[in-house]
Amino acid sequence: MYRRIAKNIGLTCHYRGDAAEAWFSSFRYYHVTCPNRRHSPIVFAVQNRLHLSTAQIRFINTGPSSQYVKMLSSLEPYPPGSPMSFEEDSGASWTPLFQKQCSFPPEIFRQVMLNLIRNPNINSNHLFRADISLESPFADDSLTDSEIPPRITHVKGYDIKTVIGSVSIHYSFFDSEPRSAKLERTAQHLLTVLHKHGQGTAAGYVKRVNHDVIIPQAVLQNTYARLKAKYAKILISRWVESTDPTKHVFEDLGIAAFLIELWAEMYKETYFPGFVDIGCGNGLLVHILLEEGYSGWGFDARRRKSWATYSSKTQESLKELVLIPSILQTTAAETPTPNPPNVLPGTHNGLFPEGTFIISNHADELTPWTPILANLSKSPFMMIPCCSHALSGAKFRAPPSKGLNASSSAYASLVSWVSKIARECGWVVEKEMLRIPSTRNTALIGRRRAIGFEELDVKELVGANGGADGWRDNAMKLVKGATRGH
Ligand SMILES: C[S@@+](CC[C@H](N)C(=O)[O-])C[C@H]1O[C@@H](n2cnc3c(N)ncnc32)[C@H](O)[C@@H]1O
């Protein structure tokens, strides 16, 4: 539910360069109210479909630099009753609320503001992007600064002398909702975020987490929104595990959305070869993908209560099997064995029909094995590492490899170690930080080869990465193992 909180909100940047400049961005921000939350938080956000009816205006002041008057050290409120910053010809007046010293130039201000508009999630965790629809064509990226047309052409009484070297926020209030502490808080928040991002950009901060490397954000989020609308409510209401349904449902819907779009790209000119989810746990991801029409199956050393709640098609596609990789088996390759109730699960040798897309989502012991199994079956894969296990199945801390140091997190070390194994297997490893509610959101994808499958001795590779002694015993412990988190 969206509610506009003011007629308009303007954020301005004033800076003294060769020619003093001021930039102004005006946006419509909205309260987002969440009726299903106990505290019904009111957050501040850009409307999903944003109309930049008033956008950017550039003021050039070629006056002497002595006009540089005041540098502010912290967020400073304009006292109520401060003179208006400016007034539109229509009569609408703008009230200044806060200002703060800044040392970044207008170009960064503009860059940060556009980023904040396009990614309202920075200001609100209830929105994931802004689809910007302009009232008139405005291809900002393709225009040079001097070509950007002013959108407010008639602003009176703008006093640049008192504000050079700062960013500030101004509201054009609704008569029905005048200035209040609540509106001030949101203004304070917005200006703080703008300032932080501007200073960070000026200091050369480069975002380390890169989303949307493989699949464009809008494509992915549209699919996610569709899946969420179709499945979330019912899956949450039918949750039978002791784990948090919202976390798991939204996480698996996010992963499913990513896979659907990845597969759309990978298999646009060929048939879908089927998937297998190794260590599928509660089977939710398998269920969503089957419901979406993809053929595939999943298995886990331990069946979960959830399995019985799915459609008969999903139930038939979930198997209780322990994976013992073919290269560790001394006897002839074992084939999947069906498992009647109340007996130990059968085993699977990890050999799948060539080309089967292997999914390993937080598959713990199976994570480092994923690219190796992919080699053995000549199949692409996506793994999302979580907890750190050696190729023997024992818990261990992966060694920090190149680019990381001894103080790197266990997770970073694991991701880097399994990426190294995948590269050694001959995969071109692609990395995507998934938009899922989990800090363990690194997806490593292998769908392209750097070398031929035959050019590699897989057993040697396993030995060189610590070996797999004890795998069978460790894997069998999972069968009767203590209940896990997921
Ligand atoms: C942390 S859980 C994740 C489950 C699920 N993928 C998810 O994200 O909710 C890891 C799962 O991998 C399974 N697993 C680990 N090694 C296995 C093996 N050798 N054979 C079959 N399942 C295995 C475990 O039983 C466990 O259910």
Which one of 169, 202, 235 terminates a domain? 202
Pocket mutation for ligand 1, best pick of 321, 352, 364 (most atoms within 8 Å of C-beta): 364
Kindly state the tokens that stand for 273: 């070869």
486 Cα to the center of ligand 1, angstroms: 8
Contact 345, 322 (CB under 8 A): yes
pLDDT score, position 91? 64
The residue contributing the CA closest to ligand 1 atom 14 is: 279
Ligand 1 pocket by Cβ (under 6 Å)? 279-282, 300-302, 322-323, 361-366, 386, 475, 478, 484, 486
- Whole-number pLDDT of residue 409: 84
Q: Are 258 and 442 in contact (CB under 8 A)?
A: no
Say if 212 falls within a structural domain. no
Residue 184 lies in a domain: yes
State whether 335 and 406 are in the same domain: yes
| Chain-centre distance for alpha carbon 121 | 10
Ligand 1 midpoint to CA 300 (Å): 6
C-beta separation of 430 from 445 below 8 A: yes
Ligand 1 pocket: which of 478, 479, 484 to mutate (most atoms <8 Å of CB)?
478
Q: Give residue 162 CA to ligand 1 midpoint distance, Å.
A: 63
Angle, helices 245-266/217-227, rounded to nearest 10 degrees:
130
Nearest CA to ligand 1 atom 23: 279
Each residue's pLDDT expressed in tens, for the chain with a length of 486 residues: 555 666 666 666 665 443 344 555 555 555 554 444 443 333 333 432 333 333 333 333 333 322 322 333 467 787 777 766 555 556 667 788 888 877 776 677 777 877 777 676 777 665 565 555 443 333 444 444 444 443 333 334 343 333 346 788 877 787 877 888 878 887 888 889 888 998 888 777 766 666 788 998 878 988 998 999 899 999 999 999 999 898 899 999 999 999 999 999 999 999 999 999 999 999 999 999 999 999 999 999 999 999 999 999 999 999 999 999 999 987 544 455 555 445 567 999 999 999 999 999 999 999 999 999 999 999 999 999 999 999 999 999 998 766 666 667 889 999 999 999 999 999 999 999 998 888 899 999 999 999 999 999 999 999 999 999 999 999 999 986 544 445
**How far is the centre of ligand 1, averaged over its atoms, from the C-alpha of 150 (Å)?**
57
Of all protein residues, the one whose alpha carbon is nearest to atom 4 of ligand 1 is 281
Distances (CA, A) of 180 to 177, 186, 471: 8, 10, 64
Ligand 1: distance of its center to the CA of 468 in Å?
17
Instruction: Tell me how far the alpha carbon of residue 299 lies from the centroid of ligand 1, in angstroms.
Output: 8
Asked if residue 209 belongs to a domain, the reply is: no
Pick the residue whose CA is nearest to atom 19 on ligand 1.
323
Nearest to 475 by CA among 297, 352, 337, 320: 320
Q: Do the domain assignments include residue 485?
A: no
Is the same domain home to 181 and 233?
no
260 Cα: distance to centroid of ligand 1 (angstroms): 22
Question: Does 463 map to a domain?
Answer: yes
Instruction: For residue 278, report the distance from its CA to the centre of ligand 1, in Å.
Output: 7
Q: What is the pLDDT of residue 84?
A: 62
Torsion sign across C-alpha atoms 297, 298, 303, 304: negative
Q: What share of the chain is helix, strand, coil (3-state, %, to 5)?
A: 30, 20, 45
Indicate if 54 and 195 belong to the same structural domain: yes
381-432 per-position pLDDT tens digit: 999 999 999 999 999 999 876 666 666 788 999 999 999 999 999 999 999 9
Give the residue, by CA position, lying nearest to ligand 1 atom 6. 280
Q: How far is the CA of 216 from the centre of ligand 1 (A)?
A: 30
User: b/e map of 383-403 (b: 16 or more CB within 10 Å)?
Assistant: bbbbbbbbbbbeebebebeee
Which of 304, 365, 395 gets mutated to test ligand 1 (max ligand atoms within 8 A of its CB)? 365
Does residue 210 lie in a domain region? no
CA distances from 329 to 349, 350, 394, 459, 471 (A): 8, 11, 18, 12, 10
Same domain (yes/no): 77, 153: yes
CB atoms within 10 A of CB 472: 18
The candidate with the shortest Cα–Cα distance to 356, out of 338, 376, 337, is 376
From ligand 1's centre to the CA of 298, what distance in Å?
Answer: 10
What global pTM score does this model have? Answer: 0.71
Whether residues 186 and 87 share a domain: the answer is: yes
Ligand 1 atom with least separation from CA of 471 = 19
Specify the residue with its C-alpha closest to ligand 1, atom 25: 301
- Domain containing residue 354: CATH number: 3.40.50
Residue that finishes a domain, picked among 148, 179, 202: 202
Say if residue 158 is in the same domain as residue 229: no
Residues 223 and 163 in one domain: no
Task: Please classify residue 177 by burial: count the beta carbons closer than 10 Å to its beta carbon, then call 0-12 exposed, 13-18 middle and 19+ buried.
Answer: middle
Atom of ligand 1 nearest to the CA of 475: 19
Q: Which atom of ligand 1 is nearest to the CA of 348?
A: 20
pLDDT for position 87? 58
Whether 259 and 400 map to the same domain: the answer is yes
Same domain, 353 and 449: yes
Ligand 1 centre to CA of 366 (Å) is 7
Measured in Å, residue 475 CA sits from the centre of ligand 1 at: 10
Question: What is the 8-class DSSP label of residue 389?
Answer: B
Cβ neighbours of residue 105 under 8 Å, at least 6 residues apart?
15, 17, 21, 202
| Nearest atom within ligand 1 for CA of residue 384 | 8
- What domain range is 265 assigned to? 217-479
Residues 6+ apart with CB under 8 A from 397: 388, 410, 413
Residue 414: inside a domain: yes
Strands 56-61, 155-156: pairing kind: unpaired
- The token duo for 392 is 């023997």
Are 236 and 246 in contact by the 8 Å Cβ rule? The answer is: yes
Asked if residue 282 and residue 189 are part of one domain, the reply reads no
Q: Is the Cβ–Cβ distance between 369 and 391 less than 8 Å?
A: yes
Q: How many CB atoms lie within 10 A of CB 410?
A: 13
Task: Report the nearest atom of ligand 1 relative to the CA of 277.
Answer: 6
Ligand 1 mutation target, pool 247, 250, 252, 300, most atoms within 8 A of CB: 300
Domain boundary among the residues 155, 176, 202 is at 202
For residues 127 and 224, state if they share a domain.
no
- CA geometry: angle at 86 spanning 179 and 98, to 5°? 45
Type of residue numbered 296: G
Regarding whether 335 and 196 lie in a shared domain, the answer is no
Number of domains in the chain: 2
Q: Which atom of ligand 1 is nearest the CA belonging to 486?
A: 9
List C-alpha distances in Å: 247 to 182, 241, 436, 485.
30, 12, 9, 12
Cα-to-centroid distance, 301 and ligand 1 (Å): 7
Cβ of 209: how many Cβ atoms within 10 Å? Answer: 7
Asked whether residue 86 is assigned to any structural domain, the reply reads yes
